Copies of this chain bind each other. A is one copy, B any other.
């Protein structure tokens, strides 16, 4: 594939203003996106991919910025599950993000300063609303499929609920119909870490000489990261291996390999992510509830959708468990939807949706045939 370029579209027409769930109206806003492959003559081969919490529009292939890998190279490309020789693939950075789309780090037109926490609190539905007009720009009236893992799966579910006639299929990986209490707790603690960091400055740190709240964001990422892999995978990968010395240091520094790994995860994250975006995106995840408009009735919620459904869960995923996916599938079927749940053996846990290729590749190819 040729190197990918990030494209930007700014929506400022009154008809594109987003009526946010919080009651505010957002306009203008920019959506950063990339595409792969070609839209066919009858415009029937488009697939919209939604990224997870820390993702971006750069799903696959070399990138103009010199980075060589997309976050889903394994699944998107020639001959892959999402075959760029057959499909026209689109992925946009979410509203509230920090990878080109409008978010808390963007300039607030009212003040000409970065929004910071003056950016409105948004929802998963709002993120989907922001991407909807992009399809019009690209000349797409109907998608062959929407898909995504983790938060990306929630976005796919929100899409088929908000625009039931616009997607033939939804492929939802390592996700859930709503954020459960423990997952809300982890998000809350992560936000606490950021907001407790004195460098956060109530969210207005973009011009601060001290820089952004790195420590808080690193902590939040470390917490998240532990939830993305299974206890067994951590045992196998690290166990009680010491990082460098032969014996414990009897200090509070890094003794164990798992400590070094976590520190690296935290540090590499604050070099590429905005702390305020972490607040906004995790809050959107907390607020997500596919059955909110049907009084908690998941079957009634699926009854309002049209897409054919495939749910992929990963047996060692303790963040969004197979059991939750099984319940979601049962609700969709009770609503008369075509829904299949594939429970994948994946010792890694939640992050398996990002790094494991089989057997989901063949199952997805079959579903898209």
Which residues of B have CB within 8 Å of A219?
Answer: 189, 192-193, 196, 219
For A251, list chain B residues within 8 Å (CB).
121
Whether A262 touches B223, Cβ cut-off 8 Å, given contacts A250-B21, A250-B121, is no
Report 28 cross-chain contacts, Cβ distance below 8 Å, ordered by A residue: A21-B250, A117-B252, A121-B251, A180-B231, A181-B234, A181-B235, A181-B237, A181-B238, A181-B239, A181-B256, A181-B258, A182-B234, A184-B258, A185-B226, A185-B258, A185-B259, A188-B259, A189-B222, A189-B223, A192-B219, A192-B222, A196-B215, A196-B216, A231-B321, A240-B289, A248-B287, A252-B279, A255-B286
Interface size class of A (residues with CB under 8 A): 35 or more
Q: How many subunits of this chain does the assembly comprise?
A: 2
Question: Is A318 an interface residue, CB under 8 A from the partner?
Answer: yes
Cβ contacts A156-195/B at 8 Å (1 or 0 each): 0000000000000000000000111110111011011101
Q: How far is it, in angstroms, between the C-alpha of A235 and the C-alpha of B321 when the chains are bound?
A: 13
**Chain B residues with CB below 8 A from A197, complex form:** 196
Question: Chain A residues in contact with chain B, CB under 8 A?
Answer: 21-23, 117, 120-121, 178-182, 184-186, 188-189, 191-193, 195-198, 215-216, 218-219, 222-223, 226, 231, 234-235, 237-240, 248, 250-252, 255-256, 258-259, 262, 279, 283, 286-287, 289, 318, 321
Give the nearest-CB partner of A215 in chain B. B196
User: A192 — which chain B residues lie within 8 A by C-beta?
Assistant: 215, 218-219, 222
Question: In the complex the two chains form, what is the Cα distance from A191 to B259 in whole Å?
Answer: 11
Task: Assess the B191–A193 pair: CB atoms within 8 A.
Answer: no
Q: Are A256 and B286 in contact (CB under 8 A)?
A: yes
Report the minimal beta-carbon distance from A186 to chain B, rounded to whole angstroms.
7
